[in-house]
Structure 1
Amino acid sequence: MTRYNPPVDDMRFLLSDVFDFDAQMAALPGYEEVNAELAVSILEEGGKFCADILEPLNRTGDEEGCKLEHGLVATPRGFPEAYKAFVEAGWGGLSGDPQFGGQGLPRVLQVLFDEMLSSANMSFGLFPGLTRGAVEAIAHYATDELKAKYLPKMISGEWTGAMALTEASAGTDLGLLSSRAEPAGDGSYRIKSTKIFISSGDHDFGGNIIHLVLARLPDAPKGVKGISLFLVPKFLVKDDGSLGNRNSLSVGSLEHKMGIHAQPTCVMNYDDATGWLVGEPGRGLNAMFTMMNAERLFVGIQGLGISEAANQKAVAYARERLQGRSLDGARAPVPIIEHPDVRKMLLSGRAFADAARALATWTAIQMDIASRHPEETARRDANGLVALLTPVVKAAFTDFGFETAVLSQQVFGGHGYIREWGMEQYVRDARITQIYEGTNGVQAMDLAGRKLPIEGGKLATRFFASMKVDLETAVPGANSIAEPTAEALGRLERATEYLLSHADNSAEIGAAATDYLRLFVLVSFGWMWTRMAAKSLTAEEFTPFHRRKIAVAQFFAERMLPQTIGLEASITNKARALMELEAEFF
């Protein structure tokens, strides 16, 4: 089976050519010395770690899975050692706050590294990914005392994090949760709860595991306004920072799952476990959504990572597998990559992965601007764009990522269904990304029902204006991509106006939401392909790399962008066809 090849050349192209990374970072205090050359050197080393250390554990970890024995979770062979190497190499603190021992590098590097991590071993990548999300919530809302006690070792990776939201009767609607938190009289609380679907809830890596748990105080009102957030460590921490007694929390069982078998997804019991309030009482969702939004972007990158790895292996197989006659009938058998339908599957995956990586890079740059730009207006505008794109990245990247995994499996034919080729694992692992951290339907509703109406639609309008500038000024050779993208943008603008005019009609918003999100991202991908094609056409030295970019851009414009025609029609056809059938007749 072909090894995973980290796409560092594609990352270099985006940073150096497409987005002018050096100038972008030079405008941000603290990042003046960060440039594309440094970024690429770091990503090259990160890619080697992912390809050499983590990918070899991907299949074995899936086959062995995690085990719960005598209340203790054992991860697959090699995982504890790989995690130790991960921490010792400093990858846990890549973008962490230097105040607490992090390297303080831009979010862009973190996003691109996370892609490679997810390509190589998605189950493993969840451990540091969830930890980073927990760090963000603690950093934004916890007391200085809690930050000082927990953040240094979490940012280094010595300690890991998990978030405990879901209960058997409270999933997306967290207002239904029943977990309780009783004041202990010493500033701490006693947490009583059973949570399900807790990724990284326990493991055998050593160190501490910091759970962020949603629960209600005794006098809390019903609904989401009565929810508070608590920091609940696996081990209590002494004043000198060393680990003390084990807290009263335990793993009730491990979930038996379709995929990510090497990731321990736990049922967690908190039996009067000691915890500390994070943020204000009754405002736990504010703190938790800081973590969840970070995780939603991370999950979107997981979809991208899976698609890249699956597409790479499908291309290698298609070059080698001999079957059928050439199109002119003169040769047989021929590599299946010569057949149009196989090429369509491979190009669909490549067209998604390259555009998604570009859009993720652009979004990450906006995150860096939002956190560091000296001008308040620039920070506010960038933060708005990140909020707008968060549900898009999460849902669209994971939808397309799963579709790419399935197409890549299809290229293998019957071999794709057999475990030893690895493709069925990609399909199984990718499927969860469409579900956890808020299902993709919920993300679509967030975009269509919450994000679009912000500022009366002006936030989306600003984003569309950014696209128009590039589409209208594209170099002549890129017009064959820019012009159909501009037409698709017109469809997106009309669909946006339609949804804004029906903002008070929940049926119309709900019926159109998933189609709207797909329309939104296809146009965004067209924008990214226009930029990549333009830079390829004007490269000082035109190479096969640039030729491939232009060819894939043309494929996207001709074979994928036309989907926007049907999506606009579906969005504006109203909700009646969905809502008129009574539930009992389904």
Structure 2
Amino acid sequence: MADYQAPVSEISFVLNDLLDVPKLYALPDFSEASAELVDAVVEEAGKFAAQVFAPINRVGDLQHSRAVNGEVVTPDGFKEAYQLFVDNGWMSLAQDPEYGGQGLPFTVHMTASEFWNSANTSMALCPMLTAGAIDVFAAHASNELKAIYLPKLISGEWTGTMNLTESHAGSDLSNLKTKATPHDDHYLIKGQKIYITWGEHDMTDNIVHIVLAPLADAPAGVKGLSLFVVPKFLVNEDGSLGERNDVKVVSTEHKLGINASPTCVMSFGENAGAVGYMIGEPGQGLACMFTLMNHARLEVGLEGVGLSERAYQDALSYARERVQGRSPATGDSISIIGHPDVQRMLMQMKSLTDAMRALCYDASMSHDLRTHGDDEETRDYHSTRFALLTPVTKAWCTELVNEVTSLGIQVHGGMGFVEETGVAQHYRDARITSIYEGTNGIQANDLVNRKLIRDGGAGVKALMNEMTQSVESAGDFPELRDAFRAGVSELQETSNYILDNHKDSDYFEGAVAYNYLMQMGYVCGAWYHYRSALAAHKKLQSGEGDSQFYANKLLAARFYIHQMLPRAFAFGSAVRDGAGIGSELNEQSFS
């Protein structure tokens, strides 16, 4: 396995040339940011990921995190690496300066998070959940709770978790059995949660659990759910840690991948009850929790980018080194990178990864603009845009990472199937991404029902107007322009078909949702590649920078639009021509 090299040039191109992220720095809330500062942060984050997190990635996969006598022991080097992460202030990049944050855009946090995921996905999950917990506190907690918990979470000295799932309640949270009972100035929590990522570990002094549970007398269903903070150790009035709370790890799961990330069964209140404090209002727990979940969904999409980048780097390195076969042109022995089919696989990996990365950062920009935009119209527009792009980012990127990491194994041939090369780990680590934080089927249903049908297609139309305007104002690039325009037109036709026919059957939306989401993902990818080609062409004409880098950007764009974008037409056809058969399926359809 090749040493990880942070793709700093790729990130810089997306931020500065493709998406124009520097326009965020002009906003009052980001007055301390500048292009020079962000470039330096990206550079240093890449170095940290490569030098600190990457070397222990394989160690974590082999050793696993493991439960020992009611505690979880992390693999060799993890505790020390996390402490370096805290010492260098990486958790605080995009957080509120009032509580110790650096006040940079969320998009900058995402660039660093990509590096963490490429270098060590298991480790990256820990600060990702902490960042989501910070969002919940910032948006919904009382000032008293913010003062107690935000400084420690933002520094990374304490970590956060998300506790939703129970053995009988996964995506459907209406039947949670964990209960919260009022007691003096707090609540006592009793119940058990499963699949709690980094629910217990030895890397920090305290772990802050965000727990979804109904009050004992709450009405049935999701409207009765409330949200609570339940710390591993109670916090004294002076900020010091007090006694151990009545919460403990029962066991950790044995999994296909992300083995160094402990996936815990957590027990709350086996004795007197776990002390918890309510975040937000009674009955508003699920709405509050979605603040964390939407953050997590973007970062899970980014996991897809990070693992795809790592798989591509390893495949490219191996293809350059592995001598096998002969050149079609000269008959001489060559490295396998000289074979057309290997070149196809590598460019497929690269072009898909480039498209996924741009989608993640575009969604992140909308998150920044919906919360920090300098006028209400901008904030409203990007609130809708962010809501639309979130399910696409999560689901499309995680569908593709399974393809890209599989191709990475294929490029390695038989050696890819051997664990010692390390590339199988990327494939195993990636598999969970399309499952957690709402399966991709749930994301697709959300896109069709809530983001397309409920507003009559207004959000989708606005996004496609952006696409159309970028073509009209871009000048002449006919080879890619016409193919991209056709893709946008196809997406519009499919959107209209769903809007016109969604009442035909109770099963219609579910039957078309996945194909529609995948079509939208591929068209968005073509949009970014088309703009990437224009930006690269401009750089080549001006003679700026690395000409080979920009020439390769043009190649990747041409490859994607001619070889990947046709998938969008197939998915569109599957919606329009396949909705009928999809709606007809029932329990008796399978033998």
TM-score of Structure 1 vs Structure 2, range by shorter chain? over 0.9
Q: Distance in 1 between matches of 2:582 and 2:376?
A: 44
Which digits, 9 at most, give the CA deviation of each residue in 1:6-61, with x for residues without a partner?
A: 111111122222233333421x1132342222211111000000000100000011
Paired position in structure 1 for 2:165: 166
Q: Percent identity?
A: 44
The equivalences for 1:422-437 within 5 A come to 422-437=422-437
| Aligned ranges 1:172-251 → 2 under 5 Å | 172-184=171-183, 186-251=184-249
Matching residue's letter, 1:515: N
1:546 counterpart residue number: 550
Given that residues 2 and 316 in structure 1 are in contact (C-alpha distance below 8 angstroms), is that contact kept between their aligned partners in structure 2?
A: yes
1:2-151 alignment to 2 at 5 Å? 2-26=2-26, 28-151=27-150
Q: How does 1:91-490 map to 2 (within 5 A)?
A: 91-184=90-183, 186-271=184-269, 272-328=273-329, 330-476=330-476, 478-490=477-489
Call closer, same or farther: CA 1:565–1:195 in 2, change over 3 Å. same
- Structure-2 separation of matches of 1:58 and 1:129: 17
Distance 1:564 1:575 in 2: 16
Contact preservation (8 Å) 2:229, 2:277: yes
Whole-Å Cα distance in 2 between the matches of residues 91 and 397 of structure 1?
25
Map Cα deviations across residues 109-161 of structure 1 (whole Å, 9 max, x no partner). Answer: 11111111100000000110000101111111111111111110001100000
Deviations 1:447-471 (A, max 9, x none): 0111112432111111110111112
Contact 2:159 2:204 in 1 (8 A): no
Tell me which amino acid in the other structure corresponds to 1:282: G
Contact residue 471 and residue 483 of structure 1 kept, 8 A: no
Contact 2:18 2:528 in 1 (8 A): no
- Partner AA of 1:274 in structure 2: V
Distance, in Å, in 2 between the alignment partners of 1:255 and 1:50 is 26
Select between 380-389 and 497-506 the one with higher mean Cα deviation. Answer: 497-506
The 2-side partners of 1:563 and 1:168 are apart by 38
- Give 1:564 shift: 1.6
Is the Cα–Cα contact under 8 Å of residues 232 and 273 in structure 1 kept in the other structure?
Answer: yes
What residue identity is the alignment partner of 1:325? R
User: What pairs up with 1:486-505 in 2 under 5 angstroms?
Assistant: 486-504=485-503, 505=505
The residue identity in structure 2 corresponding to 1:344 is R
For normalisation by structure 1, the TM-score amounts to 0.97
Q: CA RMSD in A?
A: 1.3
Q: Do the aligned partners of 1:512 and 1:571 also contact (CA within 8 Å) in 2?
A: yes
Offset of 1:206 from its aligned partner?
Answer: 2.6
SS at match of 1:96: coil
Deviation at 1:585, TM superposition (A): 4.8
TM-score norm. by structure 2 comes to: 0.97
Structure 2 stretches lacking a partner, 5+ long: none
1:66 CA drift (Å): 0.8
User: Where in structure 1 are there 5+ consecutive unaligned residues?
Assistant: none
**1:103 Cα deviation after fit:** 0.7
CA distance in structure 2 between the partners assigned to 1:537 and 1:503 by the alignment? 42
Alignment partner of 1:172: what SS? coil
The Cα of 1:86 is off from its aligned counterpart by: 0.1
Q: 2:566 aligns with which of 559, 562, 586?
A: 562
Matched letter for residue 425 of structure 1: Q
Output the CA distance in 1 between the equivalents of 2:525 and 2:35.
Answer: 23
**Would you say the 8 A contact 1:472–1:482 is kept in 2?**
no
Alpha-carbon spacing, 1:370–1:585, altered in 2? closer, same or farther (3 Å): closer
Residue 87 of structure 1 and its aligned partner are, at CA, apart by 0.2
TM-superposition CA deviations, 1:187-241 (whole Å, max 9, x none): 2111011110000100001321010111111221111111111110000000000
